[in-house]
Structure 1
């Protein structure tokens, strides 16, 4: 079983969701700025890396957790990945693609553009973190839903 947390550029929302899933970020309190900055890939993924799945780790059940940036073509990229795997003989029934982009607010979007696209990290990164903090418990809720869905599917 594999979980892919998907966002625009695999630099912010997918990283946060994967980090919560893996227990790197708490689910019972708001993380501080430094906790976000220490995350692998947080506000560090380059545009040429979009579309590349990054392995983040295995959760407590041994399930592989990945992040992937899909720009505005999430359906197309997902279809391409699934199609390729099916044609390669891989069973795709146990793949979960979780879109984290709907949780991103205006601050995080602007911060991401400033940091990743324009290279103004000193302005953009703090703005992305502030935006994520404002919606943080929605990320926690999403991860809880994903974990329950995965648990149900493993029992079936």
Structure 2
């Protein structure tokens, strides 16, 4: 199975979901802001990586887990990904595209914008992580639902 968590920027909610999915963050408790900041790919997406499907790891069942920065046009990008996957010989039943935007709060948006767009990383990254900690349970629910589907 190919699992792709996607969000606008590809640096926060999708990364958080992928990290939970891969066991880099706990499922039995809410992590601290510091736990989130210690994820190797939280708030680190470069401009060159935007729009790319980025491998984050392989889960305990051999499923490939990716993230995607899809910006503000999921209605265009997601069908193109599905079509390309099928053209390459893949079956849509083996591809999961999971939107992680619903839980995103203003702290994540403000912190992410400050860090990724304005390059005020020392200012924005902790704000994004604090916001991520606040919505952790909702993102963990997305991951739990995903794991039920694939297992």
**Range of TM-score over shorter length:** over 0.9
Task: Give the aligned partner of residue 14 of structure 1.
Answer: 14
CA distance in 2 between counterparts of 1:46 and 1:60 reads 28
Alpha carbons 1:10, 1:41 under 8 Å: kept: no
> For 1:77-101, what per-residue CA distance to the aligned partner results, in whole angstroms no more than 9, with x for missing partners?
1111111222222222210000001
Residue 150 (structure 1) shift: 1.6
Task: Give the aligned partner of residue 105 of structure 2.
Answer: 105
Alignment of 1:41-60 (within 5 A): 41-60=41-60
Point out where structure 2 has 5 or more consecutive residues left out of the alignment: none
How many residues align? The count is 151
Alpha carbons 1:55, 1:64 under 8 Å: kept: yes
CA distance in 2 between counterparts of 1:89 and 1:139 reads 31
- Secondary structure of 1:66's partner? strand
Normalised by the size of structure 1, how large is the TM-score?
0.91
> For 1:96-146, what per-residue CA distance to the aligned partner results, in whole angstroms no more than 9, with x for missing partners?
000001110011001010000000111110110111111111111111111
Which contiguous aligned blocks of 4+ residues in structure 1 show a shift greater than 6 angstroms? none
Task: Give the aligned partner of residue 136 of structure 1.
Answer: 136
Point out where structure 1 has 5 or more consecutive residues left out of the alignment: 152-156
CA distance in 2 between counterparts of 1:134 and 1:89 reads 40
Normalised by the size of structure 2, how large is the TM-score?
0.94
Alpha carbons 1:14, 1:68 under 8 Å: kept: yes
